[in-house]
Structure 1
Amino acid sequence: MNKEIKTGPIMTALLVAGFVGLFSETALNIALGELSNIFSVDATTIQWLATGYFLTLGILVPVTGILMQKFTTRQMFITSVALSIIGTIVAALAPVFSVLLTARVIQAAGLAIILPLTQNVIFTIFPPNKRGGAMGIMGLVILAGPAFGPTLAGLILDTLSWHWIFWFTIPFLVFSLIFGYIYIPNVNEIRKVSIDILSVILSTIGFGGVVYGVSVGGEFGWTSTTVLSTVIVGFIALILFAIRQTKMDTPMLNLKAFKHPQFVLGLAMNMITFLNMLSMLVVLPMFMQMALLVSAFTTGLILLPGSVLNCILAPTIGRLFDKYGPRAVITPGTILVVIGYALYAQYGTETALWIMVITHIVMMLGIGMVLASVQTNTLNALPKQYYPDGIAISQTSQQVAGAIGIAIMVSIFSAQQASSLADGTTLPVAAASGSSLVFNISLILAIINVILSLLMKKTQ
């Protein structure tokens, strides 16, 4: 390893910025009810504060792959943190809903750069036998941000106003900017790449159309013209985008990564994991608040031990991956996730809170074993020159899968709950019935992941 590169400070600067971005992704979820009253907008409109964030990530992450080849690591880092700071300040001062929504888009643009950039830096400054540990620490941040978001936000809402969810993060972003400015070197090779405008447009319509169509499915009905037309247009744009990439000398996103079977296998597992995890982080609090009748802050506390344990064990899991290879870590992880969903699917209105805590610990331990290890193995399957493309493909697919997962699972939850209420049950029983159906569907997907994990091989 290069002696001049100080890996500790570099990782600190990148991961603090990443944590704040991912914290912001979910922290606002707990305040949506309050914000819809403050800004006098309905529940579907306020949901755009979450959906808009995902939509921006889905659109911008593919473009980041080419930007990382065009601009230096330092330029990308400073732009990313500057966007996060501007978005956060505008959000904290937002007088009306439209300003808050715009601020969320600016925040998401910052995160869309920092996530792929961090992975790219890890794969450049660490040798293959140390990447698992480094990705384990990044996995910790990917999980800790969304997991601590609701708990901290619940505490802030109980004691201060919603503006402080944003003000709270500013010192961390400023720290990251200063630290990164001092320590982050330029690790990527700058190439003369031109940004193909048609590719950007097709990618935006493609990913944007699919995420938007699925996001409004619950509101407009899955068979409505708006939903079907945006999803179909999105898919057509993605097909045209893919065809165009194969015809270009220097494509915006090099799809040659798909020629590596272990990369494709890892991508599929990654998408299932994110679809399940992000929808669980939305449906589980709804189940606890509606069926078990606990407060937002208590919900956050119930989810805390699993998240904390995950953070403590993440570096160890990374080292085990480096030492014993992927299957030894990933297959047991997928089995724990299956056990978690099997238990969640059984729970009803009488479930004790301590059981929820233990189940969530099992679930988060499983997800922690799967997430970073799958990502490391997936990218290790590629030659070095494909890292920016492989990272862009995997980050885009997981954000899109997460957005689709939340939209579909929340709409299944709502439909099942409405049908139970129509049969004359109480709201807590109806909410339990809705979440049980969602967790059964997630259970089937989790079982598919166990089977896929058996096909994993160590890649180098």
Structure 2
Amino acid sequence: MTSMISSTLRKGPIMASLLLAAFVALLSQTVLNVALPKMMEDLNVNESTIQWLSNGYMLVNGVLVPISAFLFNRFSTRKLFLVASSLFAIGTIICAFSGDFGVLLSGRLVQAVGAGILMPLMSVVILTIFPVEERGKAMGMMGIAMIFAPAIGPTMSGWVVEHYDWHVLFYIIMPLAILAVIIGAIFMKDVIKTSLPKLDTLGVVLSTVGFGGLLYGFSDAGTAGWGSTTVIVCLALGGLSLLLFVIRSLTAEKPLLDLNVFKYPMFSLTTLINAIITMAMFSGMILLPIFLQNIRGFSPLDSGLLLLPGAILMGIMSPITGMIFDKVGARWLAVVGLVITTITTYEFSHLTADSTYNHMMLIYTLRMFGMSMLMMPIQTAGMNQLPRRLNAHGSAMSQTLRNVSGALGTAILVTLMTNKTASHAKELILAGNVDTTDQTKMAEITQTAMIYGINHSFVVATWLTVAALVLAFFIRKVKPHEEPAASRADFTNFDDVE
């Protein structure tokens, strides 16, 4: 059961603590992507090994989120925030001074534990301290961290690895992580009422194996292929465990994750739309850098710089769309945003070897403008229907499904690109009766086939956005579900919060 404990809290300092911690956590999550090839060379490890710096982070983060609902009810907000932000800072320090891969991976996993608690904690605190009519603006501020940090990560990483040692990435993050702990120690307050819930140990095991298996299976499918034994075993084990977890959640008296959140139709609808949008969003984040670097020959820094204007615009627009949401609701924001996103995604399905840098930057920036109207307003619209006692469970469920859909979207789009590239290359070789030992001709065919594969994946992403657009017309403005009288008595009035 969650509720406000104090009615005299100052929301600004609490938000500042949360936003800084979330920004640093999300920046760290994406900052290594561009640097991995250089790190692989310096640490003398192969590609499958170095990927664990990203996959391990994602797995630990992903399996911790479902447990977060229990943690929020069991431990005070301040204590939980300080532990999570301190763990993240400690992990960053370990990474910054690591000398080999094992120490570096350990630091990344410690970081992931902190981040896995911080992100859902931010959502629940915002839902707790802000009244419904102000949540859009507050969630828009949260969107700055969620959108801006992952987008500037590759640009910063590209610049650092071109000019400095990769350790500098962690030297940059380290003081920010320590500052987040200090600010949190000064300003963070206890805003969620705690109780002594019993931990559903079986639920923890099933959710860890279930979500962990799916996340790893989908992630590995993007590189190893869907026929890989590891992928098949992980997906099968994850799917079975997840099924058992659902059964356990529906039958346990105090489940780890309360699936009753899906009894609220607007929450279910918006969660589905956000999952689809997340899958579509990854098309631009993954396929475009591949095109820029492998086809057009741009450097990692140039690739990152192309994405930067869109990231900045999205960060600026996030609080603005939040304020608009408070006035008009999510439906028309979502419809307009998805129309823009659909058109721009379709434009990316017509890439050629002659596509100019400025044209791609313009289309990507417009795409991010459309995306800025989607993620936070849609999520907030769904969360607004939940009674306060389910805020923690709703936040954890939404975050978990977003992680899974992101991994699934990546796997599907990369697989489609790879398969279409291979099949189209064969068609071109047969049609032109090309000698496969002719390296010049084969290089041309490989490039043409890869462009075809990337465009095909963007076509699929376009249809995903169309599906989300259709669903967006069913979004409506809702009020929080009324609590029974006995439960309502546990909550104080938000209007007194400064």
* Aligned 8 A contact 2:283 2:458 in 1: no
Relative to structure 2, which stretch is displaced further, 217-226 or 57-66? 217-226
- Aligned partners of 1:222 and 1:346: how far apart in 2? 27
Opposite residue 127 of structure 2, the aligned amino acid is: F
Structure-2 residue corresponding to 1:451: 470
- Alignment deviations for residues 13-45 of structure 1 (CA, whole Å, 9 cap, x no partner): 111111111111111000111112122222233
Opposite residue 159 of structure 1, the aligned amino acid is: H
Once the 2 structures are TM-superposed, how far is the Cα of residue 224 of structure 1 from its aligned partner?
3.3
- Secondary structure of the equivalent of 2:45? coil
Opposite residue 183 of structure 1, the aligned amino acid is: F
Once the 2 structures are TM-superposed, how far is the Cα of residue 208 of structure 1 from its aligned partner?
0.8
Opposite residue 374 of structure 1, the aligned amino acid is: I
| Alignment partner of 1:121 out of 118, 121, 125 | 125
Structure-2 residue corresponding to 1:210: 214
State which structure, 1 or 2, has the greater radius of gyration over its C-alpha atoms.
Answer: 2
Q: What pairs up with 1:271-420 in 2 under 5 angstroms? A: 271-420=275-424
Once the 2 structures are TM-superposed, how far is the Cα of residue 258 of structure 1 from its aligned partner?
0.7
Distance 1:104 1:278, change over 3 A: farther
Q: What pairs up with 1:25-424 in 2 under 5 angstroms? A: 25-421=29-425, 423=429, 424=442
* Aligned 8 A contact 2:26 2:149 in 1: yes
Distance 1:410 1:48, change over 3 A: farther
- Aligned partners of 2:70 and 2:347: how far apart in 1? 43
Opposite residue 168 of structure 1, the aligned amino acid is: I
- Aligned partners of 1:98 and 1:278: how far apart in 2? 29
- Alignment deviations for residues 113-166 of structure 1 (CA, whole Å, 9 cap, x no partner): 111111111011111100000101111211111100011111222222100111
- Secondary structure of the equivalent of 1:171? helix
Distance 1:308 1:28, change over 3 A: same
Opposite residue 315 of structure 2, the aligned amino acid is: C
Once the 2 structures are TM-superposed, how far is the Cα of residue 425 of structure 1 from its aligned partner?
5.0
- Secondary structure of the equivalent of 2:373? helix
> Is residue 449 of structure 2 the alignment partner of residue 437 of structure 1?
no
Opposite residue 270 of structure 2, the aligned amino acid is: G
Opposite residue 126 of structure 1, the aligned amino acid is: F
Opposite residue 300 of structure 2, the aligned amino acid is: A
* Aligned 8 A contact 1:6 1:183 in 2: no
- Alignment deviations for residues 414-434 of structure 1 (CA, whole Å, 9 cap, x no partner): 333344555435344333222
Once the 2 structures are TM-superposed, how far is the Cα of residue 331 of structure 1 from its aligned partner?
0.8
* Aligned 8 A contact 1:327 1:453 in 2: yes
- Secondary structure of the equivalent of 1:168? helix
Return the TM-score normalized by structure 2: 0.89
Distance 1:341 1:120, change over 3 A: same
Once the 2 structures are TM-superposed, how far is the Cα of residue 101 of structure 1 from its aligned partner?
2.1
- Aligned partners of 1:12 and 1:48: how far apart in 2? 32
* Aligned 8 A contact 2:140 2:377 in 1: yes
* Aligned 8 A contact 2:200 2:254 in 1: no
Number of aligned pairs? 460
Once the 2 structures are TM-superposed, how far is the Cα of residue 446 of structure 1 from its aligned partner?
0.7
* Aligned 8 A contact 2:222 2:410 in 1: no
* Aligned 8 A contact 1:327 1:457 in 2: yes
- Aligned partners of 1:135 and 1:212: how far apart in 2? 29
- Alignment deviations for residues 230-284 of structure 1 (CA, whole Å, 9 cap, x no partner): 2111111111111111112211111110101111101101111122223431221
* Aligned 8 A contact 1:31 1:162 in 2: yes
- Aligned partners of 2:349 and 2:400: how far apart in 1? 29
- Alignment deviations for residues 425-455 of structure 1 (CA, whole Å, 9 cap, x no partner): 5344333222212111111111000001001
Structure-1 residue corresponding to 2:434: none
* Aligned 8 A contact 1:44 1:219 in 2: no
User: CA RMSD, aligned part only?
Assistant: 1.6
- Aligned partners of 1:328 and 1:202: how far apart in 2? 39
Once the 2 structures are TM-superposed, how far is the Cα of residue 386 of structure 1 from its aligned partner?
0.4
* Aligned 8 A contact 1:27 1:150 in 2: yes
Once the 2 structures are TM-superposed, how far is the Cα of residue 406 of structure 1 from its aligned partner?
1.9
Off by >6 Å, runs of 4+ in structure 1 = none
Structure-1 residue corresponding to 2:435: none
Distance 1:342 1:125, change over 3 A: same
Opposite residue 21 of structure 1, the aligned amino acid is: A
- Aligned partners of 1:187 and 1:28: how far apart in 2? 34
Return the TM-score normalized by structure 1: 0.96
- Aligned partners of 1:418 and 1:94: how far apart in 2? 40
- Secondary structure of the equivalent of 1:5? coil
* Aligned 8 A contact 2:331 2:473 in 1: yes
Opposite residue 415 of structure 1, the aligned amino acid is: N
Relative to structure 2, which stretch is displaced further, 199-208 or 106-115? 106-115
- Aligned partners of 2:292 and 2:279: how far apart in 1? 20
Distance 1:437 1:43, change over 3 A: farther
- Aligned partners of 1:284 and 1:21: how far apart in 2? 24
* Aligned 8 A contact 1:57 1:399 in 2: no
- Alignment deviations for residues 170-198 of structure 1 (CA, whole Å, 9 cap, x no partner): 11112211111111111111011011111
- Aligned partners of 1:219 and 1:380: how far apart in 2? 39
State percent identity of aligned pairs. 37
